Structure 1
C-alpha cells in the first residue's frame, strides 16, 4: 500500500518569517505612501494569525478599509512575497530535502496543501525545485469554502489515497487531518500555538523526526 504525507507550507516547510517582515514592511510602506495607513507595520498581529487564508488576514489587519483596498493590498503583498522568494531571501526549514529524499526512497507520496495562493506556492516550489519530490501542490484557492479540510479531501479523492497523515503547525492542519480521518503530526517551529499542537497525534521539533515517527504510526494512518 502506498503511504502519503500531506505537508503544510508556511511554518512547516518554508521559513516564512525570513520574508514575512520584509514583505509586510514593503506593503505597509506602500499603504503609507497612499495615505491609507499611518502607524507601524502590524507584524506581531500577523504572526498571531499566520496560517489563515489571506482574505481573512486583510480583514484582521485592515478592519476599517474597504474590500477593494484589501484586494489591492493582497495583490501588492503577493508581488513582494514572490519577488523576495525569487531573490533567495527565504529559506526552507532544516532537513526538508533530506526528509523528502527519505520519503521518496521509501515509496511515500508527498503532497503540499497550503492556505497560500497558487502563485506564491509555485514560486517556492520552483525556487527550491521541490517538484523533484512533491507529487502535486494544492492551494486553498482551489476550494471555494477556503476550508483546509476540504482541500485535503480533494487530494484524497484525486489520488485515491487510503493511507496518509497531515504534517503542519497550526490548528487548521490538525483539523484538516481529523476531518478526513487522518493522523496529524504537529510542527513546533516558529508560529505554532501550544494549545493547538496538543491536539496533534505527535509533535516534532524537526522534520527529521519523521524518520522515527512514521514506523510507529505506519499501521494507524489509514483513511
Structure 2
C-alpha cells in the first residue's frame, strides 16, 4: 500500500483529455456508416457534434444508443470497422495529442506523480496508442474497459487498488469520468477542452480550460 504521505495517483481519461480523437474517429465512423448503408441499413444523417458526443462511451453503449434496432452481429461488425480504421489512421501518423499535454505530463512526472490511463476503449486500441505515443514515458498502466468486461469506469476504478493503489485524483472530460471520481471518493478535474460540456462537468472540483491548467490544481 502507498504511504499516507505519498502523492495521490493520477488517473487520466484518454480520448478527449489526452488524445484529440475526432481527427481519426470522425472519418472512421463515417466509413462505418457508409458500409451500413451499402448493406441496406438505414443510417440517419449525423452531425460531427453528435459523433463527438459518443466519445467517452464504450462501443456497446454507443451503438445501442444510436442504432438500437441493428442486429447485434451488425453492430459488432460496424464497431470492428471503426476500430480498424482508427488504428490504421494511427499507424499512418494521423493521431494527435492535444497541444500542451506532453509538457503537462512532463511537469507532473517531475513532481513525482504516478500516472495511469482509464479509458472506455478496446484493449487493442489502448495498446496501439501506448506504442504509437511511447506512453510508458509517463504512465504506469493503460486500463481499458474491454479488459473489465466493458464495465463502467465507476466500477473499474474500485478494482484497481491492488495493482494501482489509491488515493486518486481523476482527470477527464466526460460525466463517466466524474462518476468514477465519485465512486472512488476522489477529487475530479474536468477538462473543458474535450468533448464534454460545462454543464456535464458542473460537479467537478476543478475545471481546466486547457491541458496546461491541469497542473495548477495539483
Do they fold alike, i.e. is TM over 0.5?
A: yes
Q: What residue number does 2:156 align with? A: 151
Report the Cα distance in structure 1 between the residues aligned to 2:23 and 2:173, rounded to whole angstroms: 17
Q: 1:53 aligns with which of 53, 58, 66?
A: 58
Bigger shift: residues 65-74 or 35-44: 35-44
Residues 19 and 81 in structure 1, CA contact (< 8 A), matched pair in contact too: yes
Q: Which string of whole-angstrom CA distances, capped at 9 and with x for unpartnered residues, describes residues 151-188 of structure 1?
A: 22222332222x32000001110110111010000000
Report the Cα distance in structure 2 between the residues aligned to 1:37 and 1:88, rounded to whole angstroms: 32
Report the Cα distance in structure 2 between the residues aligned to 1:156 and 1:167, rounded to whole angstroms: 17
Q: What residue number does 1:169 align with? A: 173
> Post-superposition shift, 1:43?
4.0
Residues 120 and 150 in structure 2, CA contact (< 8 A), matched pair in contact too: no
Q: 2:183 aligns with which of 156, 165, 179?
A: 179
Q: What residue number does 2:123 align with? A: 118
Bigger shift: residues 142-151 or 70-79: 142-151
Report the Cα distance in structure 2 between the residues aligned to 1:128 and 1:186, rounded to whole angstroms: 23
Q: Which string of whole-angstrom CA distances, capped at 9 and with x for unpartnered residues, describes residues 2-24 of structure 1?
A: 43110001110000111121111
> Post-superposition shift, 1:25?
1.5
Number of residue-to-residue matches in the alignment? 213
Q: Which string of whole-angstrom CA distances, capped at 9 and with x for unpartnered residues, describes residues 19-52 of structure 1?
A: 1211111111222222224554564433233211
Report the Cα distance in structure 2 between the residues aligned to 1:160 and 1:185, rounded to whole angstroms: 19
Q: What residue number does 2:3 align with? A: none
Residues 99 and 211 in structure 1, CA contact (< 8 A), matched pair in contact too: yes
Q: What residue number does 1:65 align with? A: 70
- The answer for unaligned runs of 5 or more in structure 1 is 215-223
What secondary structure does 2:73 align onto? helix
> Post-superposition shift, 1:145?
5.8
Q: What residue number does 1:78 align with? A: 83
Q: 2:26 aligns with which of 18, 21, 27?
A: 21
| C-alpha RMSD of the superposition | 1.7
Q: What residue number does 1:221 align with? A: none
Report the Cα distance in structure 2 between the residues aligned to 1:30 and 1:48, rounded to whole angstroms: 21
Residues 45 and 61 in structure 1, CA contact (< 8 A), matched pair in contact too: no
What secondary structure does 1:194 align onto? coil
Instruction: Write out the 4+ residue segments of structure 1 that deviate beyond 4 Å after TM superposition.
Output: none
Higher helix share: 1
Query: Would you say 1:213 and 2:209 are equivalent positions?
Result: no
The 1:113–1:184 alpha-carbon spacing in structure 2 relative to 1, beyond 3 Å, is same
What secondary structure does 1:196 align onto? coil
Residues 28 and 82 in structure 2, CA contact (< 8 A), matched pair in contact too: yes
